[in-house]
Amino acid sequence: MVESGFIITIDGPAGVGKTTLARRLAAHLNIAYLDTGAMFRAVAWKLGQDGWLKDEQTLARELKRMSFTLTGQGEESSVCLNGKALGPEIRTETIGLWASNVAKLRVVRDFLKKAQQEIGRQTSLVAEGRDMGTVVFPHARYKFFLDASAQVRARRRYLQILDLDEDDPEAQGIEDSPELKTILEQIKQRDEQDRNRAIAPLRPAKDAIVIDTSDLTLDEVFLLMKNYLNL
Ligand code: C5P
């Protein structure tokens, strides 16, 4: 039994497997899972193309109309914007890039940090993102930072899009695909922005458990995490 207010953070770059692992861990612990990337994506999507170029007053006004809540537990956890669950429209790489631009803005980060901390006050969480262990939940009970090379992450993303497993025979021939190259470029651009921004850049918290997942399967990473948690 996990007491309320129990928080585990999982941070790391795009495509490292945070979402799948956070979901699995939350389901295992029977607590909620918070996908904070989805919150940045939803804000970017609501603000529209080039939304991050709006002036601060306009942004503040538009953010005031957005209210985030979390429903459900484990695999069923769902982030809602103004009472409506977020859909697949926020999941594209383009919206990921918009989100990364919006995520540089203090007004957006402050707004989402408050919303995330409020959710963390209400329920126990596995919280996944870029700054969970460093900024939003610095007192979390356990902090993980997952990493992997950009090549490995792009390949995983592409296999996910193709709905293929790593050991699928078709997975062997994807190396030269132009789509994979595009995904790699997008991932590198997002990495560069997320690691080098002035506010809440992507980096491990001092007390985070860092796992390089490049040569590990998701099952192996999950096992490692459970071992660290003594589960
Ligand atoms: O995790 P996901 O790829 O959905 O996140 C989309 C973008 O949102 C990231 O590239 C990052 O710029 C931003 N983000 C952030 N802080 C978080 C979660 C996401 O800056 N805690």
Q: Is residue 227 part of a domain?
A: no
Separation of CA 167 and ligand 1 centre (Å): 29
Q: Is residue 226 part of a domain?
A: no
Q: Is residue 171 part of a domain?
A: yes
> According to the 3-state scheme, what is the secondary structure of the chain?
CCCCCCEEEEECCCCCCHHHHHHHHHHHHCCEEEEHHHHHHHHHHHHCCCHHHCCHHHHHHHHHCCCEEEECCHHHCEEEECCEECCHHHCCHHHHHHHHHHCCCHHHHHHHHHHHHHHHHHCCEEEEECCHHHHHCCCCCEEEEEECCHHHHHHHHHHHHHCCCCCCHHHHHHCCCHHHHHHHHHHHHHHHHHHHCCCCCCCCCCCCEEEECCCCCHHHHHHHHHHHCCC
Domain region containing 50 = 7-219
pLDDT one digit per residue (tens) for the chain, 231 residues: 455 579 999 999 998 999 999 999 999 999 999 999 999 999 999 999 999 999 999 999 999 999 999 999 999 999 999 999 999 999 988 899 999 999 999 999 999 999 999 999 999 999 999 999 999 999 999 999 999 999 999 999 899 889 888 888 888 888 889 999 999 999 999 999 999 999 999 999 999 999 999 999 999 999 999 999 988
Q: Is residue 2 part of a domain?
A: no
Q: What is the CATH number of the domain that holds 214?
A: 3.40.50.300
Closest Cα to atom 20 of ligand 1: 103
Q: Is residue 228 part of a domain?
A: no
Q: Is residue 19 part of a domain?
A: yes
Q: Is residue 1 part of a domain?
A: no
Separation of CA 187 and ligand 1 centre (Å): 12
How many structural domains are present in the chain? 1
Separation of CA 99 and ligand 1 centre (Å): 6
pTM (two decimals): 0.94
